[in-house]
Amino acid sequence: MPFTPPPVDDVLAGLADRFGTLDVSVYRGQTRVVVPADMSFDALAWLKERGFDLLVDVTCVDYLEYQDAKHRYGLVYLLASTATNQRLTVRVFVDDPDPTVKSAVPLWAGANWLEREVWDLFGIRFTGHPDLRRLVMPEEFTAHPLRKDYPLQGRGERHNFPVITRDHS
């Protein structure tokens, strides 16, 4: 039988008490809770207090072409507890023209590079991030390539790379 993580019902109840009714769904034993963007930092801080001390991942999904999607970007915070092995996925939805969410770096140092990567590839701005630079793309790159409106083969950036000769290097 596939492993199912320990239940998180009490955490969800506490979360609902503190932040009002939230949209909770379960798929394959994984509990997801949707938190409004303006409350995301407080909710993450509250969850960290309640024992979700490990930030497993921060990532994002661009729902531009997704069926029945109501929002453009869905941030994913995968949390886990090193003591109880509980897992919880926190979803935060943001939209154009100004996809912004408060940075989780004050809570977890590990969020630093993960948020830089999301900024780099999706263009989500994290307010309060100490060093929001591109992580994998070159600094002079302007697009955010994991967005769905960015073509697979790029927009010709590669072909327009300046060629540096030995004389001019």
Positions that interact with other proteins (CB under 8 A): 2-3, 5, 27-28, 30, 53-57, 59, 61-62, 66-68, 76, 78, 82, 85, 89, 108-114, 117, 121, 131, 133-139, 145-146, 152
Q: Which residue has the tokens 């072909």?
A: 159
Q: Toward other proteins, which CB reaches closer, 38 or 154? A: 154
Minimum Å gap between C-beta 122 and other proteins is: 10
Minimum Å gap between C-beta 54 and other proteins is: 6
Q: Toward other proteins, which CB reaches closer, 6 or 13? A: 6
Q: Toward other proteins, which CB reaches closer, 35 or 78? A: 78
Minimum Å gap between C-beta 108 and other proteins is: 6
Buried/exposed 60-91: b ≥16 CB within 10 Å, e otherwise: bbbbeeeeeeebbbbbbbbbbbeeeebbbbbb
Integer Cα distance of 131 and 1 in angstroms: 44
Minimum Å gap between C-beta 61 and other proteins is: 5
SS3 state at 162: coil
Integer Cα distance of 141 and 148 in angstroms: 17
Q: Which helix (H) or strand (E) holds 102?
A: strand 100-102
